[in-house]
Chains A and B, each alone.
Chain A
């Protein structure tokens, strides 16, 4: 896992103070997040961007593209950018990886 990427200092006024920690698991490993994190943001903060084999991970951030979908407490097709982490939440990669995607036009 890469180093944490939390921003300690907020240059904009009215910034909230750091929220309490929330522990959850991803792929069986414990992850430390903050209250108010979405699943995708909490994982991004500890350097986890790829959410499974062949998966793109977070892309649009608004629940529109479904690239960030994960399995949460056994339930499939949960959009990681729309759901907040909870203590003890069990997050896993999708069982069905994406097929190889077209590379995009030159």
Chain B
């Protein structure tokens, strides 16, 4: 059995994991980063983000450049990044069991990593959208569509529809249009037992407006267009233009909903019903919209199994995306030596995940005794401030992440023994 030892094992080589690797390795820890994919970068590699420069101009920046820079910085600081390795087990204190994603070269990855501390940065997965026909070839999640278009430079289809009128769905639609796909519309799924997320136009508009209010460039224009053309959210649903609102080379349609996907062995069309302002579909009159590809967005859920295996206390916090591990101001969990960062602790934007990674990496270095008490206090404070700053500058996909964060602080305070409750928070 091939065993590798380290001071700190980081599960997940996305923005949060790489941020933690840079900081912990930079503080002198022997760091191993483990990721299932063939290259590090996680969802950051998928993205083409918009950024506002100091002079106010908007630039499109491929996330893959940023993720490569982060991975290079982690390696330069001495971290070892092992790709193609799934961590299927985490046992005290601490043993990480690995399985190769690619079986061809089984000797390349260790069987087991032993470490004194762990940062879990496993991210989030998209919720499935289980409407009839959802298993037909040609139905993919928004993230998969972004990977095809932005990473592999493969056009996801000729004509697509995005089902799920939320920030991720709209972002994916924009990327599809840039990739040369005809995107018929972005519209909701009709409400049903397996449909997660709002269907009522008023709630959808409110979520999108809140998201785009903080976005540079086209995002802000979306908010402005929605509000000015349709009035305030409460009235918007009733005054919503019949053909939808043009945005980013496609249409945002909120008075129609997809009820099913049809085809024989492949996607041929979606069935679309009219939907009223209360989010009720009129299924007696449906249209067939021909498409060859369906891209779904039904929310993101944190991936927390390893935290649960380690014995971390978790809680269901819908405002953060689902089940999340309880964490403190320095991203420690209820289990000493186990820290969390990124979307697995609550859905966050990539720059926030990087900042959280730096905070968790600092906390792990302090735990390992690599920092003097003074240095630990100073660096933790600076890192926490950076996380708060990143949150202010980067909109969350979640409609109420502020409420979710307050809830987490409240729950964390309740886990502490009474004499520890004077802790300051660095939210």
Q: Within the complex, which residue of B84, B131, B156 is in contact with A82, where a contact is CB–CB below 8 Å?
A: B84
In the assembled complex, the Cα of A86 lies from the Cα of B154 at a distance in Å of: 18
Shortest Cβ distance from B283 into A: residue: A106
CB-CB under 8 A from B64, the residues of chain A are 14
Q: Are A105 and B84 in contact (CB under 8 A)?
A: no
Would A104 and B131 be within 8 Å (CB), given that A11-B178, A12-B60, A38-B38 are in contact? yes
In the assembled complex, the Cα of A72 lies from the Cα of B133 at a distance in Å of: 28
Q: Is B376 an interface residue (CB 8 A)?
A: no
Selected interface stretch from B143-151, B163-171, B306-314: B143-151
Q: Are A12 and B143 in contact (CB under 8 A)?
A: no
CB-CB under 8 A from B317, the residues of chain A are none
Q: Which A residues from 52 to 76 make CB contacts under 8 A with B? A: 55-65, 67, 72-73, 75
In the assembled complex, the Cα of A38 lies from the Cα of B156 at a distance in Å of: 14
What's the count of A-B pairs with C-beta under 8 Å?
137
Would A72 and B143 be within 8 Å (CB), given that A83-B38, A104-B132 are in contact? no
Q: Is B101 an interface residue (CB 8 A)?
A: yes
Shortest Cβ distance from B154 into A: residue: A45
Would A44 and B148 be within 8 Å (CB), given that A64-B125, A105-B194 are in contact? yes
B144 vs chain A, min Cβ distance (A)? 3
In the assembled complex, the Cα of A60 lies from the Cα of B154 at a distance in Å of: 16
Q: Are A106 and B65 in contact (CB under 8 A)?
A: no
Q: Within the complex, which residue of B61, B140, B194, B303 is in contact with A58, where a contact is CB–CB below 8 Å?
A: B140
Interface centre among A5, A37, A56 (most CB of B within 10 A): A5
Q: Within the complex, which residue of A6, A56, A62 is in contact with B154, where a contact is CB–CB below 8 Å?
A: A6
In the assembled complex, the Cα of A102 lies from the Cα of B134 at a distance in Å of: 10
CB-CB under 8 A from B37, the residues of chain A are 62-63, 82
Q: Is A101 an interface residue (CB 8 A)?
A: yes
A53 vs chain B, min Cβ distance (A)? 9
A92 vs chain B, min Cβ distance (A)? 14
A39 vs chain B, min Cβ distance (A)? 10
- Residue pairs across A and B with Cβ atoms less than 8 A apart, 25 shown, are A5-B157, A10-B153, A11-B60, A12-B62, A13-B60, A14-B64, A15-B153, A49-B266, A55-B137, A56-B135, A59-B128, A59-B139, A60-B125, A60-B144, A61-B141, A61-B147, A73-B103, A82-B36, A82-B38, A82-B101, A86-B104, A104-B130, A104-B131, A105-B192, A105-B193
A: residues with CB less than 8 A from B are: 5-7, 10-15, 18, 36-38, 41, 44-45, 49-51, 55-65, 67, 72-73, 75, 78-79, 81-84, 86, 101, 103-106
